[in-house]
Structure 1
Amino acid sequence: MAELGTIRRTGAGVRTAEIDEGLRSHMNKVYSTMSVGMLITALAAWAISGLAVTTDPSITGMQIGADKYLTGLGATLYASPLKWVVMFAPLLFVFGFSAGINKMSAATAQTVFYAFAAVMGISISSIFLVFTGASIVQTFLVTAIAFASLSLYGYTTKKDLSGLGTFLIMGVIGLIVASVINIFLASSALAFAVSVIGVLIFAGLTAYDTQNIKNTYLQMAHSGDQEWLGKSAIMGALSLYLDFINMFMFLLQFLGNRE
């Protein structure tokens, strides 16, 4: 009986070690995919903003700063009706991606995620025209530190954060509605309130999503379905990517120095 008990304990220990190793690998996949997406977004935003500005006033005549004018591309993206498409394209992309991921392979889903990251870069490229480069870098570093701390908390805490999910998602919907309304109202007070609330909501979502990614893996690790786990890692990367981007954009509204 002692030997049988030892075998059972050893088997359980080996299984636990396998799950822990698998979880670490899964989280590394989530964070690495998210990081590549962030890099693609940054490069796309920087490249498009560079192509959108010129010192030659004869191209469009649309001045945006001292010796800065929009190029034809800049006028199309930021000063034509197409700007609405550029603005809302990432949101539509997310809805389509989430609805169709079950029909994709993990490799296709990863490619689509990277394509989404590029679209997001185009959508937020105007920040390089509005804010100073130094303030963008500074805000990014602040966001990175806050994100890492909150994600670590979500991963390590024993407290169940699942109860926050519905509340935070409803908060996101409220933020989207308020942001759309403020496009037409152009209220600085409402913009400030949205930014502050947005930072708090996406800070909470960072911890919540991290814990949810971890718990989802632990629940499904026994299935051995590597294709499903691969797509789960990509969806986890998408969730954390959106948390980071939104927290960064809201922080930039009141931390960034405008050109």
Structure 2
Amino acid sequence: MENQVSTKTGEQLGIKSYQAVFITKVYNWMALALFITGIVSYYTATSPQIFNVIIESRWLFFGLIIGELALVVYLSRAINSMSRNTAIGAFLLYSVLNGLTISVIFMAYTSSSIATTFYITAGTFAAISFYGYTTKKDLTSIGNMAFMALIGIIIASIVNMFLQNEMMYWIISYLGVAIFVGLTAYDTQKLKEIGSRGFTSQDGMEKMSIIGALMLYLDFVNLFLFLLRVFGDRKN
């Protein structure tokens, strides 16, 4: 009986160890990507030559956005077949490209409100992610509803580009915050479950941690952008 209890305890410790190592890797990669995005974004915004080229050339700007989408699809679909170094390179390249495109916020909002909103986002993200990791409630239904709602606001945002309706703008902004709060909790819980299953190899853990970091990175950045629409002070 004592041996059975000891074995079970050992298995539980092994699961917790896997989770801790995996989640730590996920957050480390996410933090690195956010740091790179922030540095690239600020440097681009404060370098008139680079910034003007991106702003004045619509083809270049939309090309960068298409490049970002292509990298997300590439990482998500080909992660199992690519090498660890390729996965890391693609993820970090994505953070650089996102830094270039996101630099346009410095043209629309004051630097102080961008910094304040970043701190608000960081605090909100940390609290919600902690909830997603510790709660015993199954968040699958919340994740599914948030994903469907996300599709809805993407369509609504495209429509509002033509309508320029202020009421719709604010509805989309507040819904966007709620959606990415839900996705942050859901994705964190999902990553916790992935970590509890263990991995067949160290390489497999590394590549999956990149995918996990990408998921949370996207949640953080989009939460930040929607909160900026709510709290950001626009330049005159």
1:74 aligned residue (33, 41, 51): 51
Q: How many residue pairs align between the two structures?
A: 234
- What residue number does 2:14 align with? 18
Amino acid at match of 1:242: L
Q: Report SS of the residue matched to 1:257.
A: coil
Structure 1, unaligned stretches of length 5 or more?
A: 53-70
CA contact (8 A) 1:131 1:258 kept: yes
Task: Report the 3-state secondary structure (helix = DSSP H, G, I; strand = E; otherwise coil) of the residue aligned with 2:140.
Answer: coil
RMSD between aligned residues: 1.6
Greater helix fraction, Structure 1 or Structure 2: 2
Q: Which residue of 2 aligns with 1:48?
A: 44
- List per-residue Cα deviations over 1:134-167 (Å, max 9, x = no partner): 1011000001111000000000001001122222
**5+ residue gaps, structure 2:** none
What are the Cα deviations for residues 198-218 of structure 1, in whole angstroms up to 9, with x where unaligned?
000000000000000001221
Q: Kindly, what percent of the aligned residue pairs are identical?
A: 36
* Alpha-carbon distance in 1 for matches of 2:220, 2:58: 28
Corresponding residue to 1:236 among 201, 207, 212: 212
Q: For CA contacts below 8 A with separation 6 or more, give which structure has more relative contact order.
A: 2
Task: Assess if the C-alpha contact under 8 Å between 1:106 and 1:230 holds in 2.
Answer: yes
Are residues 1:170 and 2:166 paired?
no
**Greater C-alpha Rg:** 1
Secondary structure at 1:28 match in 2: helix
Structure 2 contact 160–169 (Cα < 8 Å) conserved:
yes
| Correspondence 1:102 to 2:98 | no
- Corresponding letter in the other structure for 2:38: A
Provide, for residues 81-137 of structure 1, a one-character-per-residue CA deviation record: whole Å limited to 9, x for no partner.
Answer: 323223444233312221222221223212211110111111110111211111011
Q: Are residues 180 and 92 of structure 1, via their aligned partners in 2, closer, same or farther at CA, if it must alter by over 3 Å?
A: farther
| TM-score, with structure 2 as normaliser | 0.93
Does the aligned pair in 2 maintain the 1:135–1:255 contact within 8 Å?
yes
